[in-house]
C-alpha cells in the first residue's frame, strides 16, 4: 500500500509539472476566477478543413488583427506536431457585460491574391477555431430534426456561384458563480499568461465567475462601409445589426473591404466547472462500442477454444503417451512419428535475416509499451483534450523512455538465436534505435515537404525538426544502447532441444503457407474494425475522441487475439512439418496491418469523398501508412513472442537422446 501511495503521488507530481509547462490545466485542478468587468481575451487556432486536412494560420486570411500585434501563445511539442498555432485575436470581452454591435475593423480592399485565397478557403469548407478560457467555440445547428454540434464556424459560404463571408459573430458565454474563492490565489487555469494569479483582498470579496461554455453563431449582414470610416476598434456600430444565420448578405468582391463586427452576451449556467467539457465529449454510440467489445470477446472465446484443444487434447495427450514409453519403444515410435514431432531437430534453427527479426521485435516491444501506457494514462484522465497536445507529447515521452526495453529485447533475442554469442550486440542495439524511427522520419519528412509547399501550419518547423533529432539521438538512442548492454549481460534463453546440422526438407504443401499467414490477419481485424471507425472519424473528420476506456479494452483484446492467432498458425505449420515458423508467426498477427490499410483506402473513397486534391490524398495515405506500420510492429511482436513461448514449451517436454 505504501508503494502504490508513493507511486500515485509521483505520477501526479510529474504530470502537474509537465502540465504547468504546457500552459493548460490538469483535469481536476482549480479554475480561474474572473471578477465582473475583467478582460476576457479570445484566442485563435489554425483554420482547418476535413476537405484538405491541411491547417493554415488564421491570419493567412484577411481578418482583423489585434491592436498590439499578433502574438503566439505558448505551445507544447504535441501542439506543434498536430499543426496547432494558437495566437491572440482582436475579440475582447468584459466579464458579465453584454455588448452589442461592436465594431471590430474594416479591412483593406481585397487584393487579387486575398480574394482568390478567400474563395479557395470557402470552397474547401475551412473552419475558424476560436478559444476562450481554453474552451473551443462550439456551434449548434439543426438538420432534419437533429441537433448537431460543431467546433468553430465556417469562413464563408458559396451560394449560387457568389461568395459570402461571415463577418458578424454572435457570441454567448456561459458562466457559473465561483464557489471556492479561497483557492484562486494559489492555482489558475494555466491559460498561458495566468498560471499563477495573485488576488487581493478586495477581489476575494468581490463576486466572481468562471467560464463554462463558449458558443458562437456566425452571420453575414451587409455593412455600410462609409458609416465606419471614423470608427475605432470596439466602438459601437452606428446601426443595429440583424444577425440571421439563415441568410447571407456580405458578398466578397475584389477591391472592396470587409467590415467585421460582433455581439457578446453572458448567461449564467448550472454547468459546473468540472463538467464544462461535457458538451464536447458527449459519448455517442456507446452501444456500438459495447458491441465491438462483445464481438472481440466472441472471437477470443472461439480462438481460446482452439488453443485449449491444441494444449489439452493434442499436445498433452501426445506428450503423455510419449513419456510413458521406455527408451526402446520411444526409438521405435520416433520412426513412426508424424507432424510437429518430426521437426524436433529443426524447430529452433535460426531464421533468415535473424538480426532484422530481432530489431523488429525490439521496436515492436517499444511501441507496444508506449501504446499501453499512453492509452492507460488517457483513460485515467491525465491526457484530457483540454490539455492540447499532451497525448502526442506523452507518446513521444513514453516511446523514448521505452527504448531501454527495445534494446534489451532485441539483444537478448539476438543472443538466443546466435547461441549466446554476445558479439554484435551494439550493432543490433543501434539498428533497433534507428530502424522504426528512421522509417517514420522518412515518411514524415516527405509529407512535410508537401505541407511546406502548401504553406500549411501542419508543416513541422525547421527548429522543431532539430529538436526531434536531438531527442532521437541524445535520449532515445542512448537509452536503447543501455537496454542492449543489459540484454548482452542477461543470460540467453536456452533451447530445450538440439538443432540438427542438416536441415530437414519441408514436404510440399497443398496450399501456399503465406495464404494462411495473410488470412490469419482477418481475425484481429474483426476485433478492431468497429472501434477503428471512431478513431478514423476523430483523426480525419475533426471529432473529439475521448472513449479511451473502450479503446484500452479493445487494445487488450487485440493483443490477446493476436497471441492466439499466431499460436494456432504456428502449430498448424509445425503439424505439416514446416519448421520455418519464426517470420510466419510475426506476420500471422502482423498481417492485420494490411487489412487496416485497405480499410483506410475504403474510408478515403466512401467517407472522405470531399477530400480535394492529390496533395490531401497523399497526406492521408502517408499518415495511414505510418499508422499501419506501427500496428504491424506491435501485433507482429505479440504474435512472435507468444509463438516463441509456445514452441519452447512444446519441445521442452520432449526427451531425446
Q: Is residue 513 part of a domain?
A: no
Instruction: With cut-offs at 50, 70 and 90, classify the pLDDT of residue 138.
Output: very high
Instruction: With cut-offs at 50, 70 and 90, classify the pLDDT of residue 17.
Output: very low
Question: Dihedral sign, CA of 190, 193, 196, 199?
Answer: negative
Mean pLDDT of 432-441: 96
**600 vs 179, higher pLDDT:** 600
Q: Across all residues in the chain, what is the average pLDDT?
A: 83
**466 vs 180, higher pLDDT:** 466
pLDDT at residue 358 in the model: 96
Count of other CB atoms within 10 angstroms of residue 552 = 18
Whole-angstrom distance, CA of residue 277 vs CA of residue 283:
12
pLDDT at residue 655 in the model: 54
For residue 162, pLDDT over 90 is answered with yes
* Closest C-alpha among 394, 341, 389, 339 to residue 370: 394
pLDDT at residue 211 in the model: 94
Q: Is residue 220 part of a domain?
A: yes
Q: Is residue 546 part of a domain?
A: no
Q: Is residue 311 part of a domain?
A: no
Mean pLDDT of 133-155: 85
Q: What percent of the chain has pLDDT over 70?
A: 83
Whole-angstrom distance, CA of residue 111 vs CA of residue 62:
10
Whole-angstrom distance, CA of residue 214 vs CA of residue 245:
17
For residue 196, pLDDT over 50 is answered with no
Domain total of the chain: 1
Domain enclosing residue 60, as ranges:
34-181+203-280
pLDDT at residue 52 in the model: 86
Name the least confident of 275-279, 556-560, 586-590, 632-636.
Answer: 275-279
Q: Is residue 351 part of a domain?
A: no
| Residue corresponding to grid cell 530489431 | 359
Whole-angstrom distance, CA of residue 346 vs CA of residue 342:
9
pLDDT at residue 20 in the model: 37
Whole-angstrom distance, CA of residue 46 vs CA of residue 364:
34
Q: Is residue 543 part of a domain?
A: no
For residue 189, pLDDT over 60 is answered with no
Instruction: With cut-offs at 50, 70 and 90, classify the pLDDT of residue 288.
Output: low
Q: Is residue 258 part of a domain?
A: yes
* Closest C-alpha among 466, 394, 534, 284 to residue 18: 394
For residue 616, pLDDT over 80 is answered with yes
573: Cα separation from own chain's centroid: 36
For residue 373, pLDDT over 70 is answered with yes
Q: Tell me the range of 104-118, 371-385, 547-561, 599-613 where mean pLDDT is highest.
A: 104-118
Give long-range contacts, CB 8 A cutoff, 24+ apart: 199-204: 199/33, 203/33, 203/35
pLDDT at residue 25 in the model: 36
Q: Is residue 72 part of a domain?
A: yes
**404 vs 148, higher pLDDT:** 404
Amino acid at each position: 500500500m505504501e508503494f502504490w501511495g508513493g507511486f500515485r503521488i509521483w505520477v501526479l507530481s510529474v504530470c502537474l509539472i509537465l502540465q504547468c509547462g504546457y500552459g493548460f490545466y490538469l483535469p481536476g485542478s482549480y479554475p480561474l476566477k474572473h471578477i465582473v468587468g475583467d478582460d476576457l481575451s479570445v484566442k485563435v487556432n489554425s483554420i482547418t478543413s476535413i476537405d484538405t486536412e491541411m491547417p493554415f494560420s488564421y491570419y493567412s486570411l484577411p481578418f482583423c488583427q489585434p491592436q498590439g500585434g499578433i502574438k503566439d501563445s505558448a505551445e507544447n511539442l504535441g501542439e506543434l506536431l498536430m499543426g496547432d498555432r494558437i495566437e491572440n485575436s482582436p475579440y475582447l470581452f468584459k466579464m458579465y457585460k453584454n455588448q452589442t454591435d461592436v465594431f471590430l475593423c474594416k479591412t483593406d480592399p481585397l487584393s487579387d491574391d486575398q480574394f482568390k485565397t478567400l474563395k479557395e478557403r470557402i470552397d474547401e469548407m475551412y473552419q475558424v477555431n476560436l478559444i476562450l478560457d481554453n474552451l473551443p467555440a462550439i456551434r449548434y445547428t439543426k438538420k432534419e430534426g437533429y441537433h448537431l454540434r460543431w467546433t468553430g464556424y465556417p469562413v464563408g459560404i458559396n451560394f449560387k456561384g457568389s461568395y459570402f463571408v461571415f463577418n458578424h459573430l454572435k457570441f454567448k458565454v456561459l458562466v457559473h458563480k465561483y464557489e471556492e474563492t479561497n483557492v484562486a490565489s494559489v492555482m489558475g487555469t494555466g491559460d498561458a499568461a495566468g498560471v499563477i494569479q495573485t488576488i487581493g483582498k478586495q477581489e476575494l470579496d468581490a463576486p466572481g465567475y468562471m467560464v463554462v461554455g463558449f458558443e458562437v453563431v456566425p452571420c453575414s449582414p451587409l455593412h455600410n462601409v462609409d458609416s465606419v470610416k471614423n470608427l475605432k476598434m470596439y466602438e459601437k456600430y452606428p446601426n443595429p445589426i440583424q444577425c440571421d444565420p439563415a441568410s447571407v448578405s456580405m458578398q466578397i468582391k475584389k477591391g472592396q473591404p470587409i467590415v467585421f463586427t460582433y455581439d457578446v452576451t453572458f448567461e449564467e449556467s448550472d454547468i459546473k466547472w468540472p463538467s464544462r467539457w461535457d458538451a464536447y465529449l458527449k459519448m455517442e454510440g456507446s452501444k456500438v462500442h459495447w458491441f465491438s467489445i462483445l464481438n472481440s470477446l466472441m472471437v477470443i472465446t472461439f480462438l481460446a477454444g482452439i488453443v485449449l484443444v491444441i494444449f489439452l487434447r493434442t499436445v498433452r495427450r501426445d506428450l503423455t503417451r510419449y513419456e510413458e514409453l521406455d527408451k526402446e519403444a520411444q526409438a521405435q515410435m520416433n520412426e513412426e512419428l508424424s507432424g510437429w514431432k518430426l521437426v524436433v531437430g529443426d524447430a529452433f534453427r535460426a531464421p533468415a535475416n535473424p538480426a532484422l527479426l530481432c530489431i523488429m521485435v525490439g521496436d515492436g516491444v517499444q511501441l507496444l509499451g508506449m501504446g499501453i501506457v499512453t492509452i492507460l494514462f488517457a483513460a485515467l484522465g491525465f491526457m484530457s483534450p483540454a490539455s492540447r497536445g499532451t497525448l502526442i507529447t506523452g507518446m513521444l515521452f513514453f516511446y523514448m523512455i521505452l527504448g531501454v526495453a527495445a534494446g534489451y529485447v532485441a539483444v537478448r533475442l539476438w543472443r538466443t538465436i546466435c547461441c549466446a554469442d554476445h558479439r554484435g550486440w551494439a550493432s543490433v542495439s543501434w539498428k533497433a534505435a534507428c530502424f522504426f524511427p528512421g522509417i517514420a522520419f522518412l515518411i514524415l519528412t516527405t509529407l512535410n515537404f508537401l505541407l511546406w509547399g502548401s504553406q500549411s501550419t501542419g508543416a513541422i518547423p525547421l527548429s522543431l525538426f532539430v529538436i526531434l533529432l536531438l531527442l532521437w539521438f541524445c535520449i532515445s538512442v542512448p537509452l536503447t544502447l543501455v537496454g542492449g548492454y543489459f540484454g548482452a549481460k542477461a543470460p540467453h534463453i536456452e533451447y530445450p532441444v538440439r538443432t540438427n546440422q542438416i536441415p530437414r526438407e519441408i514436404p510440399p504443401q497443398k496450399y501456399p503457407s503465406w495464404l494462411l499467414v495473410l488470412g490469419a490477419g482477418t481475425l484481429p481485424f474483426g476485433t478492431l474494425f468497429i472501434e477503428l471507425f471512431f478513431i478514423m472519424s476523430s483523426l480525419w473528420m475533426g471529432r473529439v475522441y475521448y472513449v479511451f476506456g473502450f479503446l484500452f479494452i479493445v487494445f487488450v483484446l487485440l493483443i490477446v487475439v493476436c497471441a492466439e492467432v499466431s499460436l494456432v498458425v504456428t502449430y498448424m505449420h509445425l503439424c505439416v512439418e514446416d519448421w520455418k515458423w519464426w517470420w510466419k508467426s510475426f506476420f500471422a498477427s502482423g498481417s492485420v496491418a494490411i487489412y487496416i490499410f485497405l480499410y483506410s483506402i475504403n474510408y478515403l473513397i466512401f467517407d472522405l469523398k470531399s477530400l480535394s486534391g492529390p496533395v490531401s490524398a497523399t497526406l492521408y495515405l502517408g499518415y495511414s501508412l505510418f499508422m499501419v506500420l506501427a500496428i504491424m510492429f506491435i501485433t507482429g511482436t505479440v504474435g512472435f513472442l507468444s509463438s516463441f513461448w509456445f514452441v519452447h514449451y512444446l519441445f521442452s517436454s520432449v526427451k531425446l537422446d
